Structure 1
Amino acid sequence: MAVNRVTPMGDTQDPFAAPGSWFGSLRWVRWVKNHWLWPVLALAAFVRFYDLTAAAIWGDEGSSLLLARYSLSEIWKHAAFDVHPPLYFMLLHGWIELFGDGILAIRSLSALTGIAAVGLGVWLVDRLATRRAAFIAGLLLALLPTAVRYSQEVRMYALLGVLLLAASVALVYWIRRPQRHRYLLYYALLMSAALYTHYFAVLAALCHWLYLIAIRVQRGYRFRHIQRWNWWLANLAIVALYLPWLPNLLDLLQHMEQLKAGGDVGWEPAVTLSSLPSMIWSWWIQDDGETLPLLMFAALPLAFLALAVVAVMRDRSVSRGSILLALYTGLPLLLVFAVSFITPVFIERYLTAYALGLPMLAALAIDRLYSRVRLLALAVLVALIGVELVGVNNNATVDSNDQLDRVVNYVNQHFLPGDRIVTSDMLWYLSYVYYDRSGAKVRLYTPPTPSGQPTRPNEYGFGTLVTGDVYLDSLAELPSAGRVWLVGSVDGPDEFAPLPATWQVSAETHAGGIKARLFIPNPSPG
């Protein structure tokens, strides 16, 4: 294993740097080839590809697939009315063109970017601390349950993690070698791509600015990078690259009430003080932990707070990279938590990219404990891995025989020409159409409220993905003759009630929380 040299700044010198990009690339390839990174990536790949196709496509994934079917120009147009920017959907569009829309193919995009995020996390910690810390970070990142989960969904969250970690790596390289302007070019491009992937990427930019301020005002060696003209130029470039999308963002903000009315934002329950520790538990075991005894419920969040303090306080490097990771993890978590008392957006998947900072921060603390209290460090590492394995197991607990696709396949097999298919909910509709092979136009039931108010989605959020002829306001609009499939929830009251008196159930199946009933008109009821 190569030994890093120490720079006058007190940090390890970049092993990839050489006079010329060609030689630098060769050294990077040689480092990867001979590195212990491969077992870590193999572990990350195993847990992300394991049972990748077991869970059926759910509503949000279905919305990604519907949007990706449009041309690139139409994706730009429709994403302007959605709650997420267009980059991921454009990439998914191209991915489907290359590999098809099979469930393994479409989820592989997120799985591969999730694996890449692990590699980038190792790379970042390797630049900030020791190889031992980097290995620990890689191990914890590979098994991080929230990262595994969203590396198995057709959504943009794994991609966002890759882009933000890559931007952080570029920032660290530029801090060490500010004369290398290409690092800021990489940073500007990566942060721009992140902003075109998810609006919460702006929180990472805020963390980077605060980190530069922190190392500017620290005692001893002060980094004046925040005063450099090229840093300001790079951020102006990010703003310039984002200007084409800015009018769409401003329009979206003006129509937040319509998004709330459609259930696309603010649908989460209001936060409480327990929501913050619950988020930590969700990241690590895929359960909010609120049924645990109070002392146990508080133990994990407090343990991570203690590890963060150890990582920061025992950081003897001049550039204080632990501050970067502490900001990257803690600031978005706290800001979104605070904002959610006004508008509930404290959603695990929105913060998964920032959850990646927690294993890296823990790795720094464990590495620094190891040099003084080896037994304690090993105990902490084993405990964290044990907790993660609980979450990984929770992710993998999927009954493939109790999934929505079983219901849709049943309808596909028993469908006859002329049959009608009606779903009761937008999320069911978005999932259903992915598996539908009937060739019929699947309808979405949108009956008016008792007061006569329409329930059709507006043009914002999911409503931008379907045309008006999909909506069905009354079952009476269907032809009086012919068979009808009604697809709705298993639990709760019948969303289609009252049914026409002449309809009789001919067949029924249910799985994955939904049921499909086949109705045949009987001209002589009773």
Structure 2
Amino acid sequence: MPTFVRQRSVIFVVLIASVTIGIVLRFVNLDTMIYWGDEVYSSIRIFGYTTQEIYQTVAHGQPIPATVLQQFQQVGRHHNLGDTIRTLAIEDAHITPLYFLVARLWAMLFGSSISSIRSLSALFGVALLPAVYWLGIELFKQRRIALCSTALVAIAPVQLLYAQEARMYELWVLLIVITGATLLRAIRRPSWRSWGGFSLMLSASLYSHFLAAIPLAGYGLYTVVLHYRNRPILKRFLLSSTIGILSFCPWIWVFLMRQVVEQEDGTQKPFSLIEAVKNWFSLFRRLFIDVNTTVSGSSLIAAIALVVISGFCLAIVDLAIYRLRQETPMAVWLFIGLLIFGLPMSLFGESLHGVLPSRYLLPSYVGLQLAIGYLIGSRLTHNNAVRRWIWSSSLVALVTIGLISCASNVQANTWWNKGFSECNPATAAIINQSPRPLVISDGTGGPFFDHGLSNIISLARLVKPTTQFQVTLEPNYLDLDQGNFSDRFIFTPSDNLRQWLVSQYGKNMSPVLKLTHPYRGSDICLWRLSDAGFALANDAAATNSRRDAVPSHPQSPN
């Protein structure tokens, strides 16, 4: 008995320490990771700028300093909270406004620096932990299981990753979890106050992300299946849900009235079964281990270790789902099952093209962590000492793997989720070595969203303020014979710009940096234009000019 009590105390300390470390890690090195293109657009929307405004200011083909690009990442003198809503309604109606309004108010209080903007997501990430604990209590009625689930969320690498990103996803998963907890509480202790709280949280969830509709529909299915004979509960649920949905109708109207423009983002891939399997494997592996590498990109020993650890983690997931179904009442396993599988099943088609981002599965991850929390937490008090030791060791192993991944993450300046901005830190380091650099690039020209332009602004945050940028949407009108620059760099050019530069400068364009994944039709993210190539192009242009300037001889009269 003393050994059993001592073991329980050690496990309790491990769980509390995991939660505490997870909270601290969410605020560590908030400004270290690259502020990538999607986060740049978050700031653009938060501060009420439109893509067309940015085009008019920067995409005219004339050299401008980095500070001009950076001005769209801070509060503007002539842009207010209303502009935040207006620009979303005009250019991004498919994105709901709650996060951006809260972030605008946050920036007014704490500033627009990277740390300030990201700290809001970190705060949502911290709030997620007590929300998960509350949901665990509502489901399992055991603090030990709820605490296990909370600890797993706290040290999950994928949860930490999005808790340090200036996007809406951490607010979204927080509200989904709170909405689920308020629903269970309203069913357990029905009162108009409880159902009013559920209605309010349902509305907030919808305003946090359109994808909230999927887990919320799962909550509805759960309530109808379990309580279709309990008319008072069913009536209150339907009334509360109707009020919550009606409150979201204004933004539904904005969405339906939006101007639809087809844009190619360059991320769609052809169908590949192998890629789809690899995608799903990576999606669930990152719930436990994420060292920003793949099996194919690792050494043999590292690849074997990654496969073994991933296999252990996936085995835990499979066993957790199986035991949850076998050992818990329908009121528990149905709720968690719908939370786990609702989003993956709805978005399965996207994964077949290898483009399903892990951020869309954050609520599913919480469902898995609740299932694993039950599997381990319910066995920490097993009468058999050997089994108790096995499950205690499994918990310690999962916590250790998660903490190693999290520690690696918070020290890095880029990660797999930074997409097309992954090479920006290395690019900036090269550009900053030049005394008078010129960075040449172009936007996609998209009327509402321009990932090329957002990536340029992301780079502008990293280079010296005096670095000059020459940005265009029409490469044929790009005049490079301006200014006295020590180096001319070409940054992630489009196919059109790259072809135009090759036609003008030929072999004098040399690749400098490669991407892990191709972007804008190339795996090269940085090129250098040599002075020789620039001189040759200028000589050719001058020769053509002189030839055009020779007057033609007048014809002799007959």
Give TM-score scaled by structure 2 length.
Answer: 0.69
Q: Report the Cα offset of residue 518 of structure 1.
A: 7.8
Q: Report which stretch shifted further, 479-488 or 88-97.
A: 479-488
AA of the residue aligned to 1:72:
L
Corresponding position: 1:313 with 2:323: no
Distance 1:171 1:483, change over 3 A: farther
Instruction: After TM superposition, list the pairs within 5 Å mapping 1:138-217 onto structure 2.
Output: 138-179=150-191, 181-216=192-227
**1:75 aligns to what?**
84
SS in 1 for 2:276: coil
**1:472 aligns to what?**
473
**2:402 aligns to what?**
388
Q: How far apart, in 1, do the equivalents of 2:427 and 2:277 lie?
A: 40
AA of the residue aligned to 2:82:
S
**1:350 aligns to what?**
360
What is the aligned residue count? 449
**1:466 aligns to what?**
none
Distance 1:141 1:153, change over 3 A: same
Q: How far apart, in 2, do the equivalents of 1:204 and 1:311 lie?
A: 19
**2:455 aligns to what?**
428
SS in 1 for 2:491: strand
Distance 1:276 1:162, change over 3 A: same
Q: Report the Cα offset of residue 472 of structure 1.
A: 3.0
Corresponding position: 1:241 with 2:247: yes
Distance 1:90 1:509, change over 3 A: farther
Rg larger for: 2
Query: Which of the pair has the greater relative contact order for Cα pairs under 8 Å at 6+ separation?
Result: 2
AA of the residue aligned to 1:379:
S
Q: String of CA shifts for 1:176-222, please: whole Å, max 9, x gaps.
A: 1112x2222222222222222222111110121122134237xxxx7
Match 2:336 to one of 325, 338, 345:
325
Give TM-score scaled by structure 1 length.
Answer: 0.72
SS in 2 for 1:54: coil
Q: Report the Cα offset of residue 297 of structure 1.
A: 5.7
Q: How far apart, in 2, do the equivalents of 1:39 and 1:371 lie?
A: 20
Q: How far apart, in 1, do the equivalents of 2:87 and 2:111 lie?
A: 22
Q: Which runs of 5+ in 1 are unaligned?
A: 1-34, 445-470
Q: Which runs of 5+ in 2 are unaligned?
A: 1-12, 49-79, 297-302, 415-421, 443-451, 516-523, 543-558
Contact kept, 8 Å, 2:175 with 2:204, in 1: the verdict is yes
Q: Report the Cα offset of residue 356 of structure 1.
A: 2.0
**1:369 aligns to what?**
379
Distance 1:225 1:420, change over 3 A: farther
AA of the residue aligned to 1:69:
F
Corresponding position: 1:488 with 2:491: yes
Q: Report the Cα offset of residue 127 of structure 1.
A: 2.7
Q: Report the Cα offset of residue 439 of structure 1.
A: 7.8
Instruction: After TM superposition, list the pairs within 5 Å mapping 1:192-341 onto structure 2.
Output: 192-216=203-227, 227-228=234-235, 230-250=236-256, 255=260, 258-259=262-263, 261-263=264-266, 266=268, 272-286=276-290, 291=296, 299-315=312-328, 320-338=331-349, 340-341=351-352
Distance 1:504 1:497, change over 3 A: closer
AA of the residue aligned to 1:352:
L
Q: How far apart, in 1, do the equivalents of 2:214 and 2:85 lie?
A: 23
**1:103 aligns to what?**
114
Q: How far apart, in 2, do the equivalents of 1:420 and 1:288 lie?
A: 33
CA-based RMSD of the aligned residues comes to: 4.1
Distance 1:269 1:159, change over 3 A: farther
SS in 1 for 2:262: helix
Corresponding position: 1:498 with 2:502: yes
Q: Report which stretch shifted further, 163-172 or 423-432.
A: 423-432
SS in 2 for 1:284: coil
AA of the residue aligned to 1:473:
E
Contact kept, 8 Å, 1:423 with 1:443, in 2: the verdict is yes
Distance 1:399 1:235, change over 3 A: closer
Q: How far apart, in 2, do the equivalents of 1:439 and 1:225 lie?
A: 67
Q: Report the Cα offset of residue 482 of structure 1.
A: 1.8
AA of the residue aligned to 1:305:
D
Contact kept, 8 Å, 2:121 with 2:162, in 1: the verdict is yes
Distance 1:473 1:338, change over 3 A: closer
Q: How far apart, in 1, do the equivalents of 2:245 and 2:109 lie?
A: 32
Query: Identity of counterpart residues, as a percentage?
Result: 22
Q: String of CA shifts for 1:386-428, please: whole Å, max 9, x gaps.
A: 332343244235158x973575588689787xx8643253352
Distance 1:162 1:415, change over 3 A: farther
Contact kept, 8 Å, 1:174 with 1:184, in 2: the verdict is yes
SS in 1 for 2:150: helix
Distance 1:479 1:338, change over 3 A: closer
Contact kept, 8 Å, 2:18 with 2:155, in 1: the verdict is no
**1:65 aligns to what?**
43
Q: String of CA shifts for 1:457-488, please: whole Å, max 9, x gaps.
A: xxxxxxxxxxxxxx331264336332465341
Q: Report which stretch shifted further, 478-487 or 273-282.
A: 478-487
Instruction: After TM superposition, list the pairs within 5 Å mapping 1:405-416 onto structure 2.
Output: 408=428
Q: How far apart, in 2, do the equivalents of 1:120 and 1:434 lie?
A: 35
